[in-house]
Structure formats: structure tokens, C-alpha cells
Homo-oligomer: A and B are copies of this chain.
């Protein structure tokens, strides 16, 4: 034990640990969105710092999502303290240097980095809520890039209205050899399926917000594990765990609204479709966002929109059309959301009648479907 350490022990600090500053910054940045800023329960505005033999645990929770981060460090005194999260994050973000020393005394955290020193007023750790881990559950390993891609293909279709909570989640189905994500707000629906032989069987509705946190957390790992328990799910990363509530209830039987066939199918250039829908949307933006599509068997799709106040728009897009054609109206924003999630140069639009849902698919891709309910003309 060197002299420096013995001095610190003499003044009886509560915690004392040195960390690599960049790792500390990175961990705090991952906690940022879970830490409250004006929560009615003030302790939820705090981050819990737990110093144990092996290093430091950083915890934050908004009671829906809890995140635990594990960092290695040079530990001189074990203990814990909670600190207002925003202040800590803003402070550490502006520090530089290689290491940072954290010590505390009488619920004041002292941070020393280079020639800078800050004292932050904290609170005792015992008020901080417990973040229970999922001990027993069904497991699946997810590739980070594949997960991110699948999430971006469905998340925008989830509902943001709390009136039907089940629709604010992403329905996640792990079955023999495949993983499926589904989201719908009852006006449109996204489904994406990939082959995945590595998981146990389960289905669960996970809040979109949780999955968006998972995307941020997963940044540095090539893969991570999802553990589905009775009432919670847990995502296990190399240095961190994220625990979230599950949305209770039965997900709608969505398979029955996906049309089994379309009597007319048009294949179009995705970017051209997007550009012209955006333009058409200018003239429908004040009303129902309605644009009319007229699929013509001679090989074009006509897009039209009209506003009594502003004026009107029409464009003819070249298309490969199979079937007898037909006319149907959609909410332009919903079509654009779906098309913007496609990564292919071309897509197909399947229609059956004016009152049946339209079916958008990226061309030459398996496992993707986007369903849009039609508007009355």
C-alpha cells in the first residue's frame, strides 16, 4: 500500500476508484436517455455508482428500462453513492485526460481529472430502486447489424398512442429456425423475418423505446443475447445489461390482414416513387394526406393529388404491371414510411380492390412485407 492510498483511507472516504476517462464517458453516454431530467421521483434523475472489488457498476433506470454498466477500475475503497445524472454526464463530457478519480465523503462525490476538480452533491445509495435481472428465460443470440436493420424496417409502424398499449411494442417471435419482428398501428403494418437457427422458441411484445435503447447500447458489440423471462426481457452486452418490462396482452392476429394474393402487381423504381409521393403530398398535406394511385396495365402508375386551396399535382411513373390495373387511394405518409425503409432500388405494389390493403415489398428480398390500409376516395 503506497502512502497516497493510506492518506485517503485515513480521511475515511466512502468510495475511491480510478477509471479510464473515455470508458467512463462512453458508459455515461449510454445511460443518458434513461436518466430522468425532471422525474417526479427525484432519485430517477440520478445515476447509481457502485464500487465493488472488480470495478465500478453504473446504474440508471426510468422504471421501464434499467441499464447496468460494468467498468474495470483501480479500486481503493468499495461503496456506493447516487449522483444527479445530467450534472455528472455534462461534467464528464467536458473533461479530458486519461483517467478520472472518483471519491466520496458525506454524499459529496469528488471527481479529479488532470488539473480539474469538481464536487457534486449526491444522495445515499439506498433509495435507488433495484434493477432485477432476468435469471431464468428463453434465450436467443442476435447479430447487432442484423438486429439494427430489422428494427429500422418495422419500428416506424408501431403506434405512439397509449390507448392501445400492445401496439406501442414490437411483436418479437423466435420460432424453429426464424426470428420475426412485427409492428402496426392498425393503419399500416411491417413484418420482417430472418432465418435464425440459434434461438429458443418464444413470442413477446417489447416496447419500441426499449429496442431503440438496445440499438444504442449494441453499438460496440458484434452480437448480444436476448433473454425472455416471465415479466421482463434482458439484453446482455459485453459490458452492460439492459432490463425492460414486457408489454402485457395478446398481440392481434396480424397474419389474417396480410392479403394472400394481389390481382394487380406493379414494380416501380423506389426513389422515383418516393420523390413523386413527396411532391403529391404537398397538395394533400392539409387534408387526409390522400394520394390516388392509378395502376395502368400498359405499364405506368399515375399519382395524383388535389387540394381545393393550393392546387393539384399529377405524375406518370413507368412500371412493370401484371394484372388488370386499378385505382386506389392511400395516406402518402404511410407509403413514404414503408418505401423509406426499403434498401432496394425497386419495389412491388400489390393491390386487389379499392377497399383491400395495399402490399408493398422490396424487390428480390425474402421475408419483408409492408401493408397499408386504403383511404376512401
Contact = CB atoms under 8 A, between A and B. Distances in A.
A310 interface: yes
B87 A282 contact: yes
A222 interface: no
B118 A313 contact: yes
A147 interface: no
Contacts of A115: 315-317
Nearest to A96: B275
Interface string A294-329: 000000000000000111111111000000000000
Contacts of A116: 276, 279, 313-316
Interface in A356-372: none
Contacts of A94: 275-276, 278-279, 282
A373 interface: no
B120 A311 contact: yes
A119 B315 CA distance: 12
A310 B117 contact: no
A317 to B, nearest CB: 7
A123 B304 CA distance: 23
A121 interface: yes
Contact of A118 (B119, B278, B283, B316): B283
Interface residues of A, number: 31
A95 interface: yes
Contacts of A95: 275, 279
Interface in A259-312: 275-276, 278-279, 282-283, 309-312
A121 B275 CA distance: 22
Contact of A282 (B90, B275, B311, B314): B90
A84 interface: yes
B117 A282 contact: no
A168 B84 CA distance: 38
A313 B117 contact: yes
Contacts of A87: 282-283, 310-311
A91 B279 contact: yes
A58 interface: no
Interface in A88-110: 90-91, 94-96, 108-109
Contacts of A283: 87, 118
A212 B147 CA distance: 44
Contacts of A311: 87, 108-109, 118-121
Contacts of A275: 94-96
B310 A121 contact: yes
27 contacts: A87-B282, A87-B311, A90-B282, A91-B279, A91-B313, A94-B275, A94-B279, A94-B282, A95-B275, A96-B275, A108-B311, A109-B311, A115-B316, A115-B317, A116-B276, A116-B313, A116-B314, A116-B316, A117-B313, A117-B315, A118-B283, A118-B311, A118-B314, A119-B313, A120-B310, A120-B311, A121-B310
Interface of A: 84, 87, 90-91, 94-96, 108-109, 115-121, 275-276, 278-279, 282-283, 309-317
Given A95-B275, A117-B313, 19 more contacts: A87-B282, A87-B283, A91-B279, A91-B282, A94-B275, A94-B276, A94-B279, A115-B316, A116-B279, A116-B313, A116-B314, A116-B315, A117-B314, A118-B311, A118-B312, A118-B314, A119-B311, A120-B311, A121-B310
